């Protein structure tokens, strides 16, 4: 496949990911409003609603992170061995994607198990 065509295809996917991020940011703002209401009024319904929204946010984020991890993995394993500079960059990208995926999985785990909202989770 032509390298330029491949990059254009990746950019088109990234544009869709940005739309997903805008949606998630809106959900984060809405979730913060519900969380604030819970801490102001102690309504357990708001607490559970906030937890479900947070779980949903991090579930979607993990799916996005997984896409980028797979993309980085493919890039890192399809580089010509003689192009050492590009191989190094691809390996570093894979490392970054792996760490981001791991952080998303950790935050998702915390959102699921922390039923008392004892830890502040931030979508980054």
Write out pLDDT tens, residues 101-120. Answer: 999 999 999 999 988 877 77
> Which whole number is the average pLDDT over 81-86?
83
3-state secondary structure the chain: CCHHHHHHHHHHHHHHHHHHHHHHHHHHHHHHHHHHHHHHHCCHHHHHHHHHHHHHHHHHHHHHHHHHHHHHHHHHHCCCCCCHHHHHHHHHHHHHHHHHHHHHHHHHHHHHHCCCCCCCCCCC
> Which whole number is the average pLDDT over 97-104?
96
> Which whole number is the average pLDDT over 40-66?
95
Residue 53 pLDDT > 80, yes or no?
yes
pTM for this predicted structure: 0.87
| Residue 124 confidence class, pLDDT cut points 50, 70, 90 | low
């Amino acid at each position: 496949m032509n390298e330029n065509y491949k990059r254009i295809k990746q950019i088109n996917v990234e544009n869709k990911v940005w739309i997903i991020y805008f949606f998630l940011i809106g959900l984060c703002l809405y979730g913060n409003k519900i969380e604030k209401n819970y801490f102001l009024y102690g309504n357990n319904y708001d607490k559970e609603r906030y937890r479900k929204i947070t779980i949903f946010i991090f579930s979607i984020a993990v799916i996005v992170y997984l896409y980028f991890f797979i993309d980085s993995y493919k890039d890192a394993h399809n580089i010509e061995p003689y192009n050492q500079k590009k191989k190094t960059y691809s390996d570093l990208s894979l490392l970054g994607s792996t760490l981001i995926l791991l952080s998303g999985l950790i935050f998702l785990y915390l959102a699921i198990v922390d039923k008392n909202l004892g830890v502040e989770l931030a979508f980054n």
